[in-house]
Amino acid sequence: MLSAGIDIGSRTIECVVIEDGAIREIRQAPTTFDPRGQIENVLAGVSFDRIMATGYGRNLFEVAYDAKTVTEIKAYGRGARHLFPEATTILDIGGQDSKCIILGPGGKVQRFEMNDRCAAGTGKFLEVMAEALNFSLEEFGPSALKAGKVLTINAMCTVFAESEVTSLISRGENREDIALGLHLAVVKRAAGMIRRLWPGGPIFFAGGVARNSCIQHLLEKDLQVPVIVPDNPQMVGALGAALLLEEGA
Amino acid sequence: MSDDYRSMWADLGLDLAAHDMLLGVLGEAYGKMYLTQANRPAGMSYFDFVMSEVHGLRIKELIDEKKAGRKIIGSYCVFVPEEIVLAANATLVGLCSGADFAMEEVERLLPRNTCALIKSAFGFKLGKVCPYLESADMIVGENTCDGKKKAYESLAQLVDNLYVMDLPQVKSDKGRDLLKAEYQRFQKAVEELTGSPITVASLQQAIRTVNAKRAAIHRLSTLRKADPAPISGMDALLVNQVFFYDNPARFTDAVNKICDELEQRMKAKSGVFPTKNPRVIVAGCPQAVPNWKLPMLVETAGAVIVGEESCVGERGTRNLTDEAGNSVDELLDNIVDRYFQIDCAIFTPNRDRLHHILEMIEKYQADGVIHYGLQFCQPYLMEALPIEKVLAEKGVPCLRIETDYSMEDIGQLKTRIEAFVEQLS
């Protein structure tokens, strides 16, 4: 039997189809302003027998497709355990949310923390900042790693940080250095969240921001433990939902 | 709404257009959140009626009482003793503070970083939409948190009948002396307002009336221990909210009636949620009408709230007042003893509150605690951290929420609450 998981995030939609725990298909599309249409695009031609939705758009899907839902917290926990059986601490930074999830014995979610309203320190923050410095999202992390000096960015609010960036630019600071400062600000916040819950041990890092090599590097430097990023960090939630569905959870 | 009400509201000085808008929103929210609940006790129809007439019939009753010479006293806090008010032939009502209104005007008088409850109290005044406030002959403020304390200085510029009660912050002998002195001062102020001196008989009767109301709530709370839960947390919260508005004797009857019905449900092992459903205690800041945001999210996520550790809940209704006494002073001492036990976070230290939370977890067989903190409410937000730590040590899952009356964080809250419920399942 084919079980599918669909993760409808603020920026991207992923769908993973599994059979007996083995991945059969992975699809991805940007969420855009039309999540319903994009869900249809993602699912077009994908065969599955049942489907479970996660991500902030899960309820939209639940109504339209009469499907089961699960929060991204439980789904990311499950997906992470599958890809990295020793995972206990999971960091997920997506488009508008950041979460730290601690798994207990058997992989059950023991504790979690999540930003409560604004998108400070999330993918959206990095996206806006990359644009302010005229970097593409792909080159933003690697460029920050080329910085020559450490600048401190104080603001974590996207709006305030952007004006701080503007004043750094006008002060004549190099854009790679500013980029590093912004990455450090995100890492400081994420590491703080991890430290509040962390039982120690390596960090499993998922979500779109996990693609950013500078964030991964700075997290390892800050926490002094390996930060493991799976091959496709954005599909962990969809995979988790598919696994939970297959396991009848 | 009948035309009678419109002229009544106009006489009270309400802004009719704004008030229509408020009632429209309230009615819609109530319909969506309350009337859609499955398998509600039939006795809730009384509370549905009270809510539908919360600015109508109940206000008319108050106006009629006023016409008959009775005075109306409005309050924002469970430290204002209803016994004293009733004994002096006046009626106590809770004042509106559970929704955002006229925020632009409010922020001209209060800093943005003020808790939603205080801002709301101002919003209802500035927006001219609270008929309780406008019918009150005396508005009682109290020196609880710094926010309220300072806000009353500004509220005094907006109303001409504000009375501010001082409150102790430490549970010492001196603290108790202060509370007694303040209750004596309040007694005089109320007597002066009504012209009815408090007697042993009137105070004893008032104590009985308020005790009966609390005892009915205690009975309801006890029934919530049952699995399956015989009543939703949403409905139980509503009952606790109506506690502040309704005629005490009628309210007591309505609560007892619903308890009779719930006892039948328990015998039949029927409830509003399945057995072994995740059970949650909500602890923290008060949730005034129509602030149903959190319980709505919790219960639509599939958990049932089995107790409120809150001013609108057990903090407000815990403990009865001793009826025995031969003089007004002795009875006043009984009242002071009862109120001095309230474990409000303005007290330092406030160890009783943690004990009460632990006791409630045990009593109601809760699987977890959601700590509800209003943004910028320092006393409760600060207490939340050590409470969370103790609960973690005891293996009780705790979700710490910091929010306000707006709906802008609803998406994130929903995810966090659903994940918490998954964690409890």
The answer to whether B422 contacts A97, with C-beta atoms less than 8 Å apart, is: no
Helices (H), A10-151: 35-43, 58-65, 72-83, 123-132, 137-144
d(CA A87, nearest CA chain B) in Å: 17
Q: Which of A56, A69, A70, A71 to mutate to test the interface with B (most CBs of B within 10 A)?
A: A71
In whole angstroms, what is the distance from residue B138 CA to residue B193 CA?
Answer: 8
pLDDT confidence of residue B265 = 95
Query: What pLDDT, in 10s, does the model give residues B76-132?
Result: 999 999 999 999 999 999 999 999 999 999 999 999 999 999 999 999 999 999 999
- Out of A70, A112, A116, name the one closest to residue B412 (CB): A116
Q: How far is CA A49 from CA A40, A43, A245, A249, in A?
A: 16, 12, 11, 16
In whole angstroms, what is the distance from residue A4 CA to residue A52 CA?
Answer: 6
In whole angstroms, what is the distance from residue B77 CA to residue A156 CA?
Answer: 37
Angle at A218 between CA A213 and CA A224, to 5 degrees: 125
The answer to whether B423 contacts A110, with C-beta atoms less than 8 Å apart, is: yes
The answer to whether A109 contacts B423, with C-beta atoms less than 8 Å apart, is: yes
- Out of A56, A71, A117, name the one closest to residue B419 (CB): A71
Amino acid at A114: M
Low-confidence ranges of chain B (pLDDT < 70): 1-3
Q: Which long-range contacts (CB under 8 A, 24 or more apart) does A132-137 make?
A: A132/A162, A132/A165, A132/A166, A133/A165, A133/A169, A133/A175, A133/A178, A133/A179, A134/A175, A135/A175, A135/A179
Query: What pLDDT, in 10s, does the model give residues A150-191?
Result: 999 888 788 888 899 999 999 999 999 999 999 999 999 999
Confidence of residue A63 (pLDDT cuts 50, 70, 90): confident
The answer to whether B412 contacts A97, with C-beta atoms less than 8 Å apart, is: yes
ipTM of the complex: 0.88
Cβ of residue B10 closer than 8 Å to a chain A Cβ: no
Query: What pLDDT, in 10s, does the model give residues A95-108?
Result: 989 999 999 988 99
Cβ of residue B403 closer than 8 Å to a chain A Cβ: yes
The answer to whether A71 contacts B397, with C-beta atoms less than 8 Å apart, is: no
d(CA A26, nearest CA chain B) in Å: 24
- Out of A71, A97, A110, name the one closest to residue B418 (CB): A71
Extract the tokens encoding A181: 């400062």
Domain ranges of chain B: 205-319+345-424
Mean pLDDT value of segment A203-213: 97
pLDDT confidence of residue B2 = 58
DSSP designation for B165: E
**Tally of CA atoms within 13 A in the half-sphere of A185 that contains its CB:** 26
pLDDT confidence of residue B384 = 98
**Tally of CA atoms within 13 A in the half-sphere of B101 that contains its CB:** 27
Q: Are strands A227-228 and A203-206 parallel, antiparallel or unpaired?
A: parallel
- Out of B397, B408, B419, name the one closest to residue A117 (CB): B408
The answer to whether A70 contacts B411, with C-beta atoms less than 8 Å apart, is: no
Strand ranges, E, within B212-367? 279-284, 304-309
The answer to whether A114 contacts B408, with C-beta atoms less than 8 Å apart, is: no
Q: Which residues of A touch B401 (CB under 8 A)?
A: 116
Spell A170-184 as b/e; 16+ CB within 10 A means b: eeeeebbbbbbbbbb
pLDDT confidence of residue A154 = 83
Q: Which residues of A touch B384 (CB under 8 A)?
A: none
CATH topology of domain B205-319+345-424: Rossmann fold (3.40.50)
Closest CA to A52 of A73, A67, A35, A42: A67
In whole angstroms, what is the distance from residue A180 CA to residue A174 CA?
Answer: 10
Domains of chain A: 1-84+232-249 (3.30.420.40), 87-229 (3.30.420.40)
* % of chain A residues with pLDDT over 70: 99
Q: Mean pLDDT in chain B?
A: 97
Cβ of residue B406 closer than 8 Å to a chain A Cβ: no
Mean pLDDT value of segment A76-85: 97
d(CA B423, nearest CA chain A) in Å: 6
d(CA B407, nearest CA chain A) in Å: 10
pLDDT confidence of residue A249 = 61
pLDDT confidence of residue B3 = 65
